[in-house]
Amino acid sequence: MTSQESLWRVGLTGVHSMESTDGLKSLQRLNQREQLKLRVLSSLPLEKLNHAIETGLTSNFGDDMLRIGGVKIFMDGALGPQTAAMLEPFVGETDEKGMLFMDKEELFEIGQRAVRGGLSLAVHAIGDAANHETLMGLAQLRAYEETEGYPHARHRIEHVQLLHPDDLGILAELDVIASMQPIHATSDMVMADKHWGERSRYGYAWRTLIDKGTRMAFGSDAPVDSPNPFHGIHAAVTRQRADGSPGPNGWYPEERITVEEALHGYTTGPAYAAGMEHKLGQLAPDYLADLIVVDTDPFTCSPEELREITPKAIMVGGDWVWEK
């Protein structure tokens, strides 16, 4: 089974990739042979920023199948190994606050170069300190864009797993995309409670962010978690694992969202993040004919059934690329 087929089987017609440039070269070869039947937005690693600027690569460069995204930057580590950058120490640790890889000034300096070269930023931030520092750097960058007359780039923060309550409205204020993975909440909830304690109330805070007007783009972070979007939709709506834990109301049920909001997170949200909202993300006249066929209605089935929805057929660009 090819990688494309494995993704079609779970209901994907496109992905946002954070792979190396070697992966981009392989995708280019497939696209040239007209064998790429999965739309890909491919981000660039930070170490390739100067090369990308020199060669004239900009965000959205490419065609409808393969396009350049933003420049991927890491602000901190991860929750599990306690390398996520925290404002206060992890629970049970006297002074361990994780690892902050750069501060807001360094992010701003990189962002200036990227914006001048026509590139947006995709910033990995897990802990509340990493997200705060990222937001402060992006606030400077937004002011720079406006002052210098550069386009309003579609910057995004990858994961946004924990925010300080004071920072919850800033993504919307700056018009920064929250690129989040609902399945992470149910995968990580035990670790989050262990390492973050009561701070977990504002972890994976989809309801709060949506209510504040934040642009959302949902994904999976595969292969870290399953790429199946229905697993993510189930997590977003129920905040429960497949076995129903941690209980009927889910983990911090205040942050549950509706099926419609979750579907927008996996369709119109990523389309906007890719600069393709006028041709991708919904079934409408003059839009690209990308669709999946299912025999379970996500709007009427029980929340428990959402996770088990499987496609029967996949269309990309008007072509049936897979049928069960």
Domain membership of residue 10 (yes or no) is no
What's the pTM?
A: 0.97
pLDDT at 23 over 90: no
Percent of the chain exceeding pLDDT 70 equals 100
73 vs 54: CA distance, rounded Å: 19
pLDDT (0 to 100) of residue 19: 81
Tokens found for residue 46? 């930070």
Which residue bears the tokens 């306690």?
Answer: 82
> What mean pLDDT comes out for the span 131-142?
98
pLDDT (0 to 100) of residue 210: 98
Q: What is the pLDDT of residues 89-110, one digit of tens each?
A: 999 978 999 999 999 999 999 9
Is-contact 193 246, C-beta < 8 A?
no
Domain membership of residue 320 (yes or no) is no
Is-contact 313 320, C-beta < 8 A?
yes
Q: What is the pLDDT of residues 299-319, one digit of tens each?
A: 999 999 999 999 999 999 999
Give me the number of domains the chain comprises.
1
Domain membership of residue 303 (yes or no) is no
pLDDT (0 to 100) of residue 123: 98
Domain membership of residue 13 (yes or no) is no
Closest residue by Cα to residue 156 from 81, 209, 98, 116: 209
Domain membership of residue 220 (yes or no) is yes
CATH number for the domain spanning 104: value is 3.20.20.140
219 vs 223: CA distance, rounded Å: 11
Q: Count Cβ atoms below 10 Å from residue 235 Cβ, excluding itself.
A: 30
Domain membership of residue 136 (yes or no) is yes
Q: What is the pLDDT of residues 190-227, one digit of tens each?
A: 999 999 999 999 999 999 999 999 999 999 999 999 99
Domain membership of residue 82 (yes or no) is yes
List of residues 6+ apart from 233 with CB closer than 8 A? 182, 259, 262, 263, 266, 298, 306, 307
Q: In which domain, by residue range, is 280 found?
A: 19-285
What's the whole-number average pLDDT of the chain? 97
Task: Please spell the DSSP secondary structure of 84-127, one letter per residue.
Answer: S--SSPPTT-SS----B---HHHHHHHHHHHHHTT--EEEEE-S
Domain membership of residue 53 (yes or no) is yes
171 vs 85: CA distance, rounded Å: 18
- 187-205 burial code (b ≥16 CB/10 A, e <16): bbbeebbebbeebbebbbb
